[in-house]
Amino acid sequence: MTGKTKRPSWDEYFMEIVFLIARRSTCLRRHVGAVIVKDNQILATGYNGVPTGIPHCEDQGGCLREILHVPSGQRHELCRGLHAEQNAIIQAAVHGSSIRGGTLYCTTMPCIVCTKMIINAGIKKVVYAEGYQDDLAREMMEQADIFIRQYTIQDDAS
């Protein structure tokens, strides 16, 4: 072997995984993936979509929020689905994995509903790729001393 293999950083590794996870999403509006890790070990994953055993929105005539012209970030209770972050937290609970002190990697900055769950779950770091306009979510994460940062591929270029 003549050259040294460029291994991805941990952030790059987990961010690539969340984009793969997002491909499982059944949401008609946005595909989001999340992974919760601790000590560089994956504890749980999640993508946005309806609860297990419930018909997908595309099988129910479409996205209710689209039909009602609900803007992004509003009226979350009208959505049939769960967010990727919520599904990852639930998966950890179902399997008895403590995520306290862990890191959540996500394709999108968490909304305020997910942020409250992240805070109470004890997650200490959030790394996301795409921004999401939710000033209250960012403010509450900062108040809870959660390290948050937007990841870009340039972070690993060197």
Q: Which of 3-7, 31-35, 102-106, 146-150 has the lowest mean pLDDT?
A: 3-7
Percent of the chain with pLDDT over 90: 68
- C-alpha to C-alpha distance for 136 and 19, rounded to whole angstroms: 25
pLDDT digits (tens, 9 = 90+) for 10-32: 999 999 999 999 999 998 888 99
Strand runs (DSSP E) across 28-146, as ranges? 33-38, 41-47, 103-108, 125-130
Sheet holding 125-130, edge to edge: 41-47, 33-38, 103-108, 125-130, 147-150
Q: In the numeric block, which tokens belong to residue 151?
A: 């990841």
Q: In the numeric block, which tokens belong to residue 58?
A: 């595309």
Residue 29's SS3 state is coil
Of the candidates 12, 85, 130, 139, the residue annotated as catalytic is 85
pLDDT digits (tens, 9 = 90+) for 68-121: 888 877 787 888 889 999 999 999 999 999 999 999 999 999 999 999 999 999
Cβ contacts of residue 67 below 8 Å, gap of 6+? 61
12 is catalytic: no
Is it the case that residue 141 has pLDDT exceeding 70? yes
Predicted model pTM: 0.89
Q: What dihedral do alpha carbons 34, 10, 117, 18 form, nearest 10°? A: -10
